[in-house]
Structure 1
Amino acid sequence: MDLLPDTNQKFGKKEYWDQRYREEAEGTFDWFKAYDEISSVIHELIPSRDAEILMLGCGNSTLSEDMYDDSYHRITNIDYSGVVIEQMTARHSEKRPVMTWIEMDVRHLDFRDASFDVAIDKGTLDAMLTPKDVWNPDPQMVSDCNAEIDEAYRILRPGGRLIYLTFGQPHFRKQYLNRHDWKLEIRELGESFHYYLYVCTKQE
């Protein structure tokens, strides 16, 4: 299987990801920057190693294991692909026993309100937002993106943060991230090619 689909819209399809993870069962793939490139920012934004962290759309990224090995142990990883959740559970359950892996859709989180300190999205919203016309995304894509952010907001405790790493420029992303009672900060990462880090902090 070619890792890249024939249309970008397939990035938003569960069937594509199930098949991709079956094909790369022993592999890993990280969107955007590796942990060693962003660890200093993570340390700043998540100063407590006891923070309850939710990884939104974990895939087979090494981000969770790298953070775990950096003493962030209380990480809950979710993905709507049961294929990758099964693979990652088998890969990490013995070496990293505190970390958990759950099959779950980021648009419909089965967690209580205010149950996490941090939520991290590293490319998941981007996979859902792949319109043919970037200026006019499909209504379903808009609904899906808003649903993820609404759910992230709901499960964060007061003072909690959503950390979102993307290549998406503010003009195309702020509309999904703005909420009336949290603070949105935008940082540029990189030099020749910019990535963007959006930090949404829920008011106390």
Structure 2
Amino acid sequence: MVKEEELIKLAHPEFWDARYTSEQKVRQDGTQTVLDSYEWFRNFETLRPFFSKHLPASSSSCHILHLGCGSSTLTADLHTLGYTNQTSVDFSRVVIDAMKSKYSHLDTRWCVMDVRCLEMPNGSVDVAIDKGTLDAMIHGSLWDPPEDVRCNVGKYVDEITRVLKPGGQWLYITYRQPHFMKPLLEREDLWTLSVEELSDGAGAFNYFSFIMKRHQNLDLGHQSLLIDGKQEA
């Protein structure tokens, strides 16, 4: 079992900078370092039916935001399907620099950014995707989450509701059970929440997808914000 102090480190960029630095490899000709991809909670081909169901028709006008992109191939995979208007953010400068270099041929944006403080305009995103980022903020008992977990998750959720367009969606994929996660994600005044089970069949480890769809005509200037674990109007 992973120790609590190790789980707490996952919410800090220094941990990920060190990890990605250690995972970089030098090409045989010695000219460039490369970072192999790593997929949290299933690869693209396994999740393709889910994305086909929930993503709008591929179009350059559909702005997709990858929250904590890491070294996943998802940005590139969706680009091949025609989703060319993508922004991929991560608070690890090491991985963003590596992904910029690896996918320099793609017309996508790679930005060093903390998902708890997104440097993006209100209502600018059609679809936000999280495949493991929120999970890195969670430690301790989910029956009664520690104050720092409530605070980090609250700031993160507030930022997603802020940047999503009316009718926009947040697609979150996790291994965590819905009865634990729903209390952290429910915002009835801001969006609808539904859950789908992602199964590969009998005996396979099941994952869950949470689909949060932001209400139409929501005034961002009057939405409730969760600050330091407390609700403010």
TM-score between the two structures when normalised by the length of structure 2: 0.81
> 1:106-125, aligned counterparts within 5 Å?
106-125=115-134
Residue 80 (structure 1) aligned to one of 84, 91, 94: 91
1:111-136 Cα deviation digits (max 9, x unpaired): 111001000010000011122x3323
Runs of at least 5 residues in structure 1 that lack an aligned partner in the other structure = none
Match of 2:152 in 1: 144
Match of 2:19 in 1: 20
Instruction: Report the structure number with the largest CA radius of gyration.
Output: 2
Match of 1:155 in 2: 163
Deviation for aligned residue 1:7: 2.2
Match of 1:37 in 2: 46
TM-score between the two structures when normalised by the length of structure 1: 0.92
Runs of at least 5 residues in structure 2 that lack an aligned partner in the other structure = 25-34, 217-233
Residue 57 (structure 1) aligned to one of 68, 77, 80: 68
Q: Is the 8 A contact 1:29 1:61 kept in 2?
A: yes
Q: Is the 8 A contact 1:11 1:130 kept in 2?
A: no
Matched, 1:186 2:195: yes
Q: Is the 8 A contact 1:12 1:130 kept in 2?
A: no
Moved segments of 4+, more than 6 Å: none
Match of 1:177 in 2: 185
The residue identity in structure 1 corresponding to 2:10 is: F
Q: Is the 8 A contact 2:89 2:111 kept in 1?
A: yes
Deviation for aligned residue 1:189: 0.6
The residue identity in structure 2 corresponding to 1:36 is: E
Matched, 1:105 2:114: yes
Deviation for aligned residue 1:15: 1.1
Q: Which sits farther off after the overlay, 37-46 or 14-23?
A: 37-46
Question: What fraction of aligned residue pairs are identical, expressed as a percent?
Answer: 36
RMSD: 1.6
Separation in structure 2 between the aligned mates of residue 64 and residue 155 of structure 1, nearest angstrom: 19
The residue identity in structure 2 corresponding to 1:138 is: P
